Amino acid sequence: MLGELGQLALCFALALSLVMSGAGLMGAKAGAGIHAELARRVATASALGLLVFVALAFGTLVTAFVTSDFSIADVANNSHTLKPLIYKITGVWGNHEGSMLLWVLVLSLYAGAVAFLQRGGERLTSAALGVQGLLAAAFLLFILFTSNPFLRIDPAPFEGAGLNPLLQDPGLAIHPPMLYAGYVGLSASFSYAAAALLVGEEGWARAARPFMLIAWMALTCGIALGSWWAYYELGWGGFWFWDPVENASLMPWLVATALLHSALATERSGAFRTWTLLLAIGGFSLSLIGTFLVRSGVLSSVHAFASDPTRGFFIMVLIVCAIGAALALFAWRAPTLKGGTSFDTVSRESALLLNNVFLVGSTAAVFVGTLYPLALDALTHGQQKISVGPPYYALTFAPIFFALLLLVPFGPQLGWRRGDLKASLRMLSPALGLAAVAALVVLTVASPRFVTGTLAFAVAGWLIGASILDFLKRRGARAAAFAAALAHAGLGVTLMGVTATSLWRSEALDVVGPGETMTVGPYTLRFDGVTQVQGANFQATQAHIALMDHGRVASVLKPESRVYPVEGQEVADTAIRTTGFSDLYLALGDNRGQGRWTVRAYVSPLAPFIWLGALVMALGGALSLWGRLRIRIGAASPAVQPAE
């Protein structure tokens, strides 16, 4: 019953998405008149209907997972009755079919929001709904033909195959929905940009702004969550590996960041109109490419749940069509757009443009680093394989991004159209003081000394100092005025965390028996043996490791090694004790016999700052969004009065 209900809901959703795209595009084209008005209403109604039916399909799949309905192949392959409830639910998107359904659910949510909020002119909204409908239709077809989560299996097995234990983790439970909210959120900007090209309407940047902000915030949080998960789950104390899958999420983030900045100028004075459109198209295109990379099996990792060539082929065709059509539309219509008002060489506009130059450069580094090895492999028929590891990004991405960070504080201080560099520098001079203090502190406290580390801390001090000055300058202004300061301060916080963890992490790898001690950084640890612990669906070997303070036990850490019998896998569960400024990180290695175990210990200075900074950045986005929605509510009342 459940399977058929879900299937039916997906078919209705597909029909509605087709109606929505047709009606939306008709409503955009016809301009005034009763037919256009009708088409627009149909588009709005079908967007809301699409959301209802996709949500119904998704709810059905969740129910099937929760009730362990193993007559559905997707549930049988990815769930198990013994799994805790939360992982039954998150298992829905822990596999290819379910995660594609989540993708379409998020796409429909944004379509529903575009329809409900009706931001921008009615023709613009209608065209945006039309484009969003086309995207929904394409992905629904993809699901129904290549990745149907409701396919039956006969006879139904008595028990499911379980879920990869690495994915059975609270951090990873919310990571995919968050990342998708960002990835797919860029579809709204894409649809608005395509709509603006179709109907030639200005003001699309203002209309799409809240969607850009939400997508950017979600991407920021999603990437941070993924990195945090990798940190505590994988057991190596690392937080970013330049893995192609990570890069696939970083690229849309970089472009979305560029888009947020460029769109500010477009909204304000019409500057960089075509460039902003191109960024909106590029951001979502990179999301699609990321989906292709992750889902097609081109990269074999936990993310590529299945490598089925038809799926890869389908997504590739979809990408080529979407990006190709958008770029063709761009090439056709962009030259007709008017240029913006003029601005001085030293101005906010120039600063925003410079921001984009560096973000495009750093995106290029990630893009080439991710795709070049694949291209080279394919072009040489597997004769030449190269690895592009962290050293490559340290020499390309890092310096470009670092140059951007140096310039960030100037942006908010320069006036629109005409800025005063000297006055800005004077205003920011106390921040230079803070930069010097940060550099001096690092030189005295940290050992060994690194030029890069000292520079990075100076820049972090510069960023945070400039944000504090910006706060003080705008005292008494509305909350949204502090958005940039907060987001830029977050960059400084993350920079400190990344630098300190990368350069000054101490580690120890020892084989210890009961009662023996080991040291890592400033800490002395005593190994007190292991006990067996029975989890809901795993058997854990739990080590008791005492953190000693002058001969007394200050705290006991319990890293585990878990065996999941259903899945037949062993997963480490690390123990982390944080002071907020430094993490003591323990992972249990293998059994060396006679009660002796390998224990890995790390002390990562400022590690929590990495994710704290990301949170601060996202809060900056939230402030900006809050200001937007308030302005909208405030603007609602004068709009009631007759216009001019």
The minimum distance between CB 171 and other proteins, in angstroms, equals 13
The minimum distance between CB 129 and other proteins, in angstroms, equals 32
Question: Comparing C-alpha atoms, which of 264, 273, 227 is closest to residue 247?
Answer: 227
- Mask for 559-578, x = binds other proteins (CB under 8 A): ---------xxxx-------
Residue with tokens 């008017």: 338
Question: Comparing C-alpha atoms, which of 555, 612, 548, 609 is closest to residue 582?
Answer: 609
Provide the 10 A C-beta neighbour count for residue 317.
Answer: 12
- Tell whether residue 344 is a contact of other proteins (CB under 8 A): yes
- Tell whether residue 447 is a contact of other proteins (CB under 8 A): no
- Residue of 196, 213, 271, 279 that binds other proteins (CB under 8 A): 271
Q: Enumerate residues 220-249 that contact other proteins by CB under 8 A.
A: 230, 234-236, 238, 241-245
| Residue 624, CA distances (Å) to 85, 486, 621 in order | 37, 10, 5
- Tell whether residue 349 is a contact of other proteins (CB under 8 A): yes
- Tell whether residue 421 is a contact of other proteins (CB under 8 A): no
- Residue of 67, 310, 342, 429 that binds other proteins (CB under 8 A): 342
The minimum distance between CB 364 and other proteins, in angstroms, equals 4
Closest to other proteins by CB, 274 vs 524, is 274
Closest to other proteins by CB, 365 vs 428, is 365
- Tell whether residue 548 is a contact of other proteins (CB under 8 A): no
- Tell whether residue 361 is a contact of other proteins (CB under 8 A): yes
| Residue 593, CA distances (Å) to 91, 511, 600 in order | 36, 10, 17
Provide the 10 A C-beta neighbour count for residue 203.
Answer: 15
Backbone angles phi, psi at 7, to 5 degrees: -60, -45
- Tell whether residue 372 is a contact of other proteins (CB under 8 A): yes
The minimum distance between CB 261 and other proteins, in angstroms, equals 13
- Residue of 55, 117, 354, 622 that binds other proteins (CB under 8 A): 354
- Tell whether residue 164 is a contact of other proteins (CB under 8 A): yes
Number of residues that bind other proteins (CB under 8 A): 66
Cα separation, 170 vs 168, whole angstroms: 7
Closest to other proteins by CB, 353 vs 548, is 353
- Tell whether residue 637 is a contact of other proteins (CB under 8 A): no
**Cβ(89)–Cβ(66) under 8 Å?**
yes
- Tell whether residue 343 is a contact of other proteins (CB under 8 A): yes
Closest to other proteins by CB, 375 vs 629, is 375
Give the distance between the most distant pair of CA atoms in the chain: 88
- Mask for 190-219, x = binds other proteins (CB under 8 A): ------------------------------
Closest to other proteins by CB, 392 vs 527, is 392
- Mask for 16-55, x = binds other proteins (CB under 8 A): ----------------------------------------
The minimum distance between CB 291 and other proteins, in angstroms, equals 16
The minimum distance between CB 591 and other proteins, in angstroms, equals 9
Closest to other proteins by CB, 48 vs 376, is 376
Instruction: Compute the radius of gyration of the chain from its Cα atoms.
Output: 26
Query: Chain centroid to CA 254: how far?
Result: 10
HSE (CB half, 13 Å, CA atoms) of 564?
20
- Tell whether residue 251 is a contact of other proteins (CB under 8 A): no
Residues 6+ apart with CB under 8 A from 583: 576, 577, 602, 603, 604, 607, 608
Cα separation, 6 vs 57, whole angstroms: 4
Instruction: Describe the crossing of helices 483-504 and 607-640 by its angle, rounded to 10 degrees.
Output: 170
274-296 b/e (C-beta count within 10 Å ≥ 16 → b): bbbbbbbbbbbbbbbbbbbbbbb
Cα separation, 21 vs 195, whole angstroms: 12
- Tell whether residue 310 is a contact of other proteins (CB under 8 A): no
The minimum distance between CB 616 and other proteins, in angstroms, equals 26
**Cβ(191)–Cβ(114) under 8 Å?**
yes
Q: Is 643 exposed, middle or buried (0-12, 13-18, 19+ CB in 10 A)?
A: exposed
| Residue 23, CA distances (Å) to 17, 133, 387, 529 in order | 10, 10, 49, 68
The minimum distance between CB 351 and other proteins, in angstroms, equals 10
The minimum distance between CB 354 and other proteins, in angstroms, equals 6
The minimum distance between CB 465 and other proteins, in angstroms, equals 27
- Tell whether residue 302 is a contact of other proteins (CB under 8 A): yes
- Tell whether residue 503 is a contact of other proteins (CB under 8 A): no
Secondary structure (DSSP) of 258-319: HHHHHHHHHHHH-TTHHHHHHHHHHHHHHHHHHHHHHHSSSS-STT-----HHHHHHHHHHH
- Mask for 374-413, x = binds other proteins (CB under 8 A): --x---x---xxxxxxxxx--xxx--x-------------
- Tell whether residue 553 is a contact of other proteins (CB under 8 A): no
Closest to other proteins by CB, 112 vs 165, is 165
Residues 6+ apart with CB under 8 A from 196: 124, 202, 204, 277
Q: Enumerate residues 505-524 that contact other proteins by CB under 8 A.
A: 509-511
Terminal-residue alpha carbon distance, the chain = 58
Closest to other proteins by CB, 380 vs 517, is 380
Q: What angle is formed at CA 245 by the lines to CA 379 and CA 108, rounded to 5 degrees?
A: 110
Closest to other proteins by CB, 241 vs 626, is 241
The minimum distance between CB 272 and other proteins, in angstroms, equals 7
Question: Comparing C-alpha atoms, which of 511, 508, 519, 527 is closest to residue 590?
Answer: 511
Question: Comparing C-alpha atoms, which of 639, 614, 625 is closest to residue 113?
Answer: 625
Sequence letter at residue 240:
W
- Residue of 220, 362, 604, 624 that binds other proteins (CB under 8 A): 362
- Residue of 369, 411, 412, 453 that binds other proteins (CB under 8 A): 369
Residues that bind other proteins (CB under 8 A): 164, 166, 230, 234-236, 238, 241-245, 271-272, 299-303, 339-340, 342-345, 349-350, 353-354, 356-358, 360-362, 364-365, 368-369, 372-373, 376, 380, 384-392, 395-397, 400, 509-511, 568-571, 590, 592, 598
